[in-house]
């Protein structure tokens, strides 16, 4: 074969890291970081039902089932939010655990009933099994990366506007709901193609950690996204190599641990936003302060210039 | 038809029978409001009167239970590109990775439409708008590194970049310093002189007579609306603010001052 197995897996995890960096950047900035986690967990029962319905081990069939139930999970979250008065986190927690619980029950019972059938080992989707990735899987991830990248490039202006100020997006006549759904579908697709490699439990980490680390380095959205893709891709590759080196250690967790290392390094060392820089800034400021004129021109992110003169608040 | 011009001309902005409710509790009830003239319009009323909700519902950001909103004689949904908006400062994440320039540039997105990227024309316009609010030196700053008043000016510049004919501004004077308040009012005045209509949700009753042409007194229903001279009266304020006499005491002074000047 042209590709050695390691090379296939490396390509797959690299591309996966890049795709996650793109959609993850929007997810993190829009405070929707956990939406990917909901989709991932909600995908499990759909995967099992697809297997039961078609008895196919074809990854396309399984992932279509996973995508549908993942999206169903995401829709359940928005419906529950609308019709109960529960907050985001509670609703997400409920949907995530109910779907995941159902999925675990189904995987176990499939394993018991179809012991001899090939592909019945659906439990491998729970923490993922990158080592068995095949050329077809990598091709799928490549398609997802290509489609996501083209949409992000074409609609960068619109997605940036939506992420920064959804209301302003809407009053300018853009369909905020349409763009929202588009981002949700892109996230769900990325999560689902990542399931075989990284697994239900850890896919969300790939969406969240690289963008969170990237935010430390820049104040520009486009650069943040590129850094997130780079950290995602490098973490994918490093995790895979580590897993190949230490026989038997699963790839998914190693990828997550690697990206966490990047996160910690960014948090400590990044200019302006990093811990080291901040401690330096405090001492600088002490020297600087006596020369600063108090007033409008002193920039400070957390201080507002006091409450307005609110005559109607007098009791 | 041309002879009966003024009355036949569609109103710039018209709300008909608007009712808005949160959890079945009405926050706006039977609102009818028509604006026919260019100028500065203040919306005032006590907290919880539905001032912000009224403009947000008019632009489709809050669902209406009933009613219709039109601008220049047709449904407002189709006219959004001619309308500018300054939201409350607290409505966005100021830690977002975006510069002052990019934020103001967003005002031009509406005129660009899908897919098209902002070009030289939009960038020049953005710089002009920044200059108009005195923020050109901050163009490259990340927006979180600004004071409250500066952030408000950025939002105003973004609205200017929309090049709209009708503006809705949600408390642009909230939490700003005196310098910014002056800049904002001068800006609003010049927009008004250019023949635009600016509807401002306003907090500070003391400045109403000084700066605004028309006033809308709102407390769930519209208590009164019209030119400041005839509408901003003690009786109407009493009806709007109810028994909160301490406010009326401070207001009596302002009204008196206004009556003296006439």
Say whether A161 and B147 touch across the interface (CB within 8 A). Answer: no
The pLDDT of residue A292 is 45
Outline where DSSP puts E strands in chain B: 13-22, 25-35, 39-44, 66-71, 74-75, 83-86, 166-170, 197-201, 214-219, 221-227
Mean pLDDT of B96-113: 94
Least confident segment among A10-24, A117-131, A183-197, B85-99 = A117-131
Residue pLDDT, tens place only, A153-208: 999 999 999 999 999 999 998 899 999 999 999 999 999 999 988 888 898 899 99
Chain A residues in contact with B110 by the CB 8 A cut-off are 172-174
pLDDT over 90, % of chain B? 67
Q: What share of chain A is helix, strand, coil (3-state, %, to 5)?
A: 75, 0, 25
Comparing A42-46, A310-314, B35-39, B231-235, the range with the smallest average pLDDT is A310-314
| CA dist list (Å): B45 to A160, B57, B90, B203 | 35, 17, 20, 8
Burial of B235 (0-12, 13-18, 19+ CB in 10 A): exposed
Mutation site for A-interface testing, chosen from B63, B69, B97 by largest number of A Cβ within 10 Å: B97
CB contact under 8 A, A165 and B92: yes
- Reported ipTM: the value is 0.87
The overall average pLDDT reported for chain A is 86
Q: What digits encode the pLDDT tens for the residues B73-83?
A: 999 988 999 99
Q: Residue B25: what pLDDT?
A: 86
Band (pLDDT 50/70/90 cuts) for residue A60 is: confident
Residue numbers in B near A162 (CB within 8 A):
none
pLDDT at residue A170, as a whole number:
92
For residue A25, give how far its alpha carbon lies from the nearest alpha carbon of chain B (Å).
11
- pLDDT of residue A308 exceeding 90, the answer is no
Rounded to an integer, what distance in angstroms lies between the CA atom of residue A27 and that of residue A159? Answer: 11
Count contacts between A and B (CB, < 8 Å): 139
Domains of chain A: 2-201 (1.10.3470.10)
Q: A114: Cβ–Cβ under 8 A, 6 or more apart, which residues?
A: A55, A120
Please answer yes or no on whether A220 and B61 come within 8 Å at the CB atom: no
- Of B139 and A85, more confident: B139
**Contact B158/B102 with Cβ under 8 angstroms?**
no
A309 contact residues in B (CB cutoff 8 A): 203-204, 206
Nearest CA to B172 out of B150, B193, B190, B191 is that of: B150
Q: Quick one: pLDDT at residue A279?
A: 75
CB-CB under 8 Å, A298 with B97: no
Q: Is pLDDT above 60 for A311?
A: no
Name the band, by pLDDT with cuts 50, 70 and 90, for residue A257. Answer: very high
Tens of pLDDT, residues B59-98: 999 999 999 999 999 999 889 999 999 999 888 999 999 9
Distance from CA of B30 to the nearest CA of A (A): 23
Nearest to B177 among A215, A305, A313 (CB): A305
**Once rounded to an integer, what is the mean pLDDT over residues B207-231?**
92
Looking at chain A, which residue has its C-alpha nearest residue B104? A161
- Quick check: A218 contacting B, CB < 8 Å? yes
Considering only CB atoms, B80 lies closest to which of A172, A221, A310, namely: A172
Question: Could you tell me the maximum CA-CA distance found in chain A, to the nearest angstrom?
Answer: 81
List pLDDT tens digits, range A69-114.
999 999 999 999 888 888 889 999 999 999 999 999 999 998 888 8
Confidence of residue B8 (pLDDT cuts 50, 70, 90): low
Q: Do B109 and A220 touch (CB under 8 A)?
A: no
Is it the case that residue A238 has pLDDT exceeding 60? yes
What pLDDT does A1 receive? 45
Q: What is the pLDDT of residue B256?
A: 64
Cβ distance A220 to B97 less than 8 Å, yes or no, reads: yes
Q: Is B118 helix (H, G, I), strand (E, B) or coil?
A: coil
Q: Is the pLDDT of residue A23 over 90?
A: yes
* Segment B115-142 mean pLDDT: 94
- pLDDT at residue B179 greater than cutoff 60: yes
pLDDT of residue A190: 94
What local confidence, expressed as pLDDT, does residue B246 receive?
57
CA-based nearest distance B6→chain A, Å:
29
Q: Identify all chain B residues contacting A168, using CB atoms and an 8 Å cutoff.
A: 85, 87, 106, 158
CB within 8 Å of chain B, chain A residues 243-302: 295-301
> Among A41-55, A70-84, A201-215, A293-307, where is mean pLDDT lowest?
A293-307
| Mean pLDDT computed over B197-210 | 90
CA-to-CA distance for B187 and A118, rounded, in angstroms?
72
Between CA A238 and CA B130 the distance in angstroms is 46
pTM: 0.86
Where residue A310 falls among pLDDT bands split at 50, 70, 90? very low
Query: How far apart are alpha carbons B128 and A315 in whole angstroms?
Result: 43
**Which residues on chain B are in Cβ contact (under 8 Å) with A213?**
none
Selection from A95, A75, A87, A83 nearest residue A181 by Cα: A75
Q: Evaluate whether B172 touches B151 at the Cβ level (below 8 Å).
A: no
Exposed e or buried b per residue across A253-263, where buried means at least 16 C-beta atoms within 10 angstroms of its C-beta: bbbbbbbbebb
Q: Which of residues 136-195 of A touch B (CB under 8 A)?
A: 154-155, 157-158, 160-161, 163-165, 167-168, 170-174
Report how far residue B171's alpha carbon sits from residue B162's, in angstroms, rounded to the nearest whole number: 18
Q: Residue B33: is its pLDDT beyond 90?
A: yes
C-alpha to C-alpha distance for B14 and A81, rounded to whole angstroms: 33
User: Which burial class, exposed, middle or buried, applies to B175 when counting CB atoms under 10 A from its CB (0-12, 13-18, 19+)?
Assistant: buried
Is A305 close to B251, i.e. CB distance below 8 A? no
Cβ of B203 within 8 Å of Cβ of A300? The answer is no
Q: What is the DSSP string of B97-113?
A: S-BHHHHHHGGGHHHH-
E strand or H helix at A128 = none
pLDDT of residue A99: 96
What is the pLDDT, as a whole number, of residue A14? Answer: 95
Closest chain A residue to the Cα of B102, Cα to Cα: A220
Question: How many CB atoms are closer than 10 A to CB A133?
Answer: 24
Closest chain A residue by Cα to residue B180: A296
What is the pLDDT, as a whole number, of residue B243? 63
Q: Please state which of the ranges A252-266, B2-16, B141-155, B209-223 shows the lowest mean pLDDT.
A: B2-16
Q: How many CA atoms lie within 13 A of A154 on its CB side?
A: 9
pLDDT tops 60 at residue A123: yes
Instruction: Show Cβ contacts of residue A286 under 8 Å, excluding neighbours closer than 6 positions.
Output: none
How far does chain A reach from its first CA to its final CA, in angstroms? 81
């Amino acid at each position: 074969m042209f590709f050695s197995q390691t090379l296939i897996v490396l390509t797959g995890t690299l591309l996966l890291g890049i795709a996650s960096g793109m959609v993850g950047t929007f997810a993190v900035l829009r405070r929707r970081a956990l939406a990917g986690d909901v989709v991932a967990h909600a995908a499990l029962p759909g995967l099992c039902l697809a297997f039961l319905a078609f008895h196919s081990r074809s990854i396309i069939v399984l992932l279509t089932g996973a995508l549908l139930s993942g999206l169903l999970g995401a829709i359940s979250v928005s419906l529950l939010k609308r019709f109960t008065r529960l907050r985001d986190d509670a609703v997400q927690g409920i949907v995530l655990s109910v779907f995941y619980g159902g999925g675990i029950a189904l995987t176990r019972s499939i394993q018991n009933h179809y012991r001899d059938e090939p592909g019945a080992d659906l439990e491998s989707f729970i923490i993922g099994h990158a080592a068995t990735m095949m050329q077809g899987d990598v091709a799928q991830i490549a398609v997802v990366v290509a489609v996501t990248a083209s949409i992000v490039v074409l609609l960068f202006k619109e997605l940036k506007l939506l992420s920064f100020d959804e209301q302003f997006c809407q009053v300018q006549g853009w369909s905020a709901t349409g763009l929202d759904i588009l981002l949700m579908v892109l996230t769900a697709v990325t999560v689902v193609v990542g399931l075989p490699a990284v697994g239900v439990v850890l896919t969300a980490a790939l969406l969240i950690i690289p963008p969170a680390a990237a935010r430390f380095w820049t104040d520009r959205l486009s650069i943040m996204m590129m850094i997130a893709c780079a950290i995602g891709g490098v973490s994918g590759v490093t995790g895979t190599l580590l897993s190949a080196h230490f026989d038997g250690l699963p790839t998914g967790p190693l990828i997550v641990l690697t990206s966490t290392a990047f996160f910690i390094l960014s948090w400590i060392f990044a200019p302006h936003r990093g811990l080291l820089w901040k401690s330096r800034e405090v001492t600088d400021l002490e020297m600087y302060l006596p020369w600063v004129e108090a007033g409008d021109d002193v920039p400070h992110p957390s201080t507002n210039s006091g409450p307005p003169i609110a005559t109607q608040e007098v009791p | 038809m041309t002879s009966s011009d003024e009355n036949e001309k569609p109103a710039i902005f018209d709300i008909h029978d608007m009712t808005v409710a949160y959890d079945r509790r009405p926050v706006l009830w039977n609102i009818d409001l028509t604006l026919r003239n260019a100028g500065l319009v203040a919306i005032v009323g006590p907290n919880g009167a539905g001032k912000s909700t009224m403009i947000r519902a008019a632009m489709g950001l809050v669902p209406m239970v009933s009613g219709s909103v039109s601008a220049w004689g047709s449904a407002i949904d189709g006219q959004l590109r001619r309308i500018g908006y300054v939201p409350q400062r607290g409505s966005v994440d100021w830690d977002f990775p975006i510069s002052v320039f990019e934020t103001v540039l967003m005002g031009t997105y509406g005129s660009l439409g899908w897919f098209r990227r902002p070009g030289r024309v939009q960038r020049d316009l953005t710089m002009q708008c920044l200059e108009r609010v005195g923020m050109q030196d901050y163009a490259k700053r990340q927006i979180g590194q600004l004071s409250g008043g500066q952030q408000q000016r950025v939002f105003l510049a973004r609205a200017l970049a929309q090049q709209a004919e009708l503006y809705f501004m949600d408390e642009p004077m909230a939490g700003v310093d005196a310098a910014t308040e002056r800049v904002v009012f001068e800006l609003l005045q010049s927009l008004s002189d250019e023949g635009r209509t600016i509807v401002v949700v306003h907090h500070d009753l003391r400045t109403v007579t000084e700066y605004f042409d028309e006033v809308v007194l709102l407390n769930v229903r519209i208590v009164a609306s019209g030119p400041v001279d005839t509408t901003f009266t003690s009786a109407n304020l009493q009806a709007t603010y109810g028994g909160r006499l301490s406010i009326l005491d401070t207001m009596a002074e302002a009204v008196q001052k206004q009556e003296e000047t006439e």
